[in-house]
């Protein structure tokens, strides 16, 4: 998973004592909420004027020192202005941006996780029809058992609202295959080539198929994930759903870290 690998390297490179320090992150959050969200969005997910900081940091991580300098000096020729913050204040902002790009479960996410849980498992959102959490739910879409422990909240939000945007569905292509023996199987193609197809069907059963046995393969041109969650859910429901997803962590905090 290149996202995580890069993210891991980014975090491990952190040297400054503010990074990961709750007080600094909280102070940074105040600065961010006051001056940055207008362009970069409330969770760093980007807006009309400012880029998505979460994507930026995951794919092309800047060093902490470089982020510090960008905040201090701005980016000439763009809308990003220089700031007048002290060193300590600037570092707290760097620490907050760090936290935004870290796993959702390590941040304070607004919303009612219990209500979000009901939304997740309810019929209106219908998430569990395709996604599993600790083995409960469908097998067709990516496992969400650790989504809060592995993804920044801005990315989770984006995959709900714009699931087709970043080809997140590759490895989960909706597929229907008619075999030469007359059998028809429907599910997702976990992998495929001109020679073989690895298909998990709607019951969650894996089928290893040779393409020489296939009469017809039909693939969905886009993600099987519904693309109408922006309309289907209210703002509050979406907020609460995000709060619930942020709690999904395969290494609960209580178990982390040794003694």
Partner 1 sequence: MRHLLAFGLAFALGAVAQVRHDELAKGAGDDWLTYAGTYAGWRYSPLTQVTADNAKNLVPKWVYHVPGARGLQSSPIVYQGVMYVTSTNALTAIDARTGRRVWQYSDPRAQKAGVNRGAAIWGDRVYFTTSDNYLVALDRHSGVLIFNKKFADIAMGTTSTSAPLIARGKVIVGSSGGDSGMRGFIMALSADTGETLWKTYTIPAKGEKGAETWGNLIDYGGGAAWLSGTYDPQLNTLYWTTGNPWPDYNGDVRPGDNLYTCSLLALDLETGKMKWYFQFTPHDTHDWDAQSWPVLLDTEINGKPRKAVLHANRNGFFYALDRVTGEFLRATQLIDKVTWAKGIDAKGKPIQLPNIEPTPQGNWICPSVKGATNWMGQSYNPLTGLLYVLTLEQCGMYFRSSQEPQPMKNFSGGGATEEGGQVVLRALDPKTGKRAWEYPMTGTGRMWTGTVSTAGGVIFSGDDDGHFLALNAKNGKNLWHFNLGEMLTASPVIYSVDGKQYVAVASATAVFSFGLFEPAVGVDPPVIRLRK
Q: Assess 6 for contact with partner 1 (CB under 8 A).
A: no
Q: Which of residues 98-127 bind partner 1 (CB under 8 A)?
A: 126
Q: How many CA atoms lie within 13 A of 225 on its CB side?
A: 25
The minimum distance between CB 234 and partner 1, in angstroms, equals 20
Identify the DSSP state of 74: -
Q: Assess 12 for contact with partner 1 (CB under 8 A).
A: no
Binding mask 190-229 for partner 1 (x = CB under 8 A): xx-xxxx-x-x-xxxxx-x-xxx-x-xxxxxxx-x-xxx-
Identify the DSSP state of 101: T
The minimum distance between CB 23 and partner 1, in angstroms, equals 24
H or E segment at 208?
strand 206-210
Spatial distance between the Cα atoms of 245 and 144, rounded to a whole number of angstroms: 8
Q: Assess 186 for contact with partner 1 (CB under 8 A).
A: yes
Whether 64 and 14 have beta carbons less than 8 Å apart is answered as: yes
Find all residues with CB under 8 Å of 146, minimum gap 6, and list them.
248, 249, 250, 251
Give the footprint of partner 1 on this chain (CB under 8 A): 1, 4-5, 8, 126, 128-130, 132, 134-135, 137-140, 143, 145-146, 149, 174, 176, 186-187, 190-191, 193-196, 198, 200, 202-206, 208, 210-212, 214, 216-222, 224, 226-228, 250-251, 255, 257-259
């Amino acid at each position: 998973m290149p996202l995580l690998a890069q993210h891991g390297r980014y975090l491990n490179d952190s040297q400054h004592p503010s990074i990961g320090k709750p007080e600094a992150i909280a102070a940074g959050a105040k600065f961010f909420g006051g001056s940055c969200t207008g362009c970069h969005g409330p969770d760093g997910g980007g807006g009309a004027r400012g880029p998505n900081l979460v994507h930026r940091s995951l794919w092309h991580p800047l060093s902490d020192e470089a982020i510090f300098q960008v905040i201090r000096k701005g980016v000439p020729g763009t809308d990003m202005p220089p700031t007048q913050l002290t060193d300590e204040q600037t570092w707290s902002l760097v620490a907050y941006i760090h936290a935004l790009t870290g796993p959702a479960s390590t941040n304070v996410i607004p919303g009612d996780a219990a209500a979000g849980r009901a939304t997740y498992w309810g019929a209106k959102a219908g998430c569990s029809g395709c996604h599993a959490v600790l083995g409960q739910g469908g097998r067709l879409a990516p496992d969400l058992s650790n989504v809060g422990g592995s993804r920044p909240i801005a990315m989770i939000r984006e995959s709900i609202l714009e699931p087709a945007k970043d080809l997140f569905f590759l490895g989960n292509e909706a597929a229907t295959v008619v075999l030469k023996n007359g059998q028809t199987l429907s599910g997702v193609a976990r992998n495929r080539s001109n020679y073989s197809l690895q298909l998990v069907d709607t019951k969650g059963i894996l089928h290893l198929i040779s393409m020489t046995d296939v009469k017809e393969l039909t693939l969905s041109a886009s993600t099987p994930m519904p693309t109408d969650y922006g309309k289907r859910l209210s703002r509050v429901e979406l907020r609460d759903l995000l709060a619930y997803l942020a709690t999904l962590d395969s290494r609960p905090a209580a178990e982390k870290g040794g003694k």
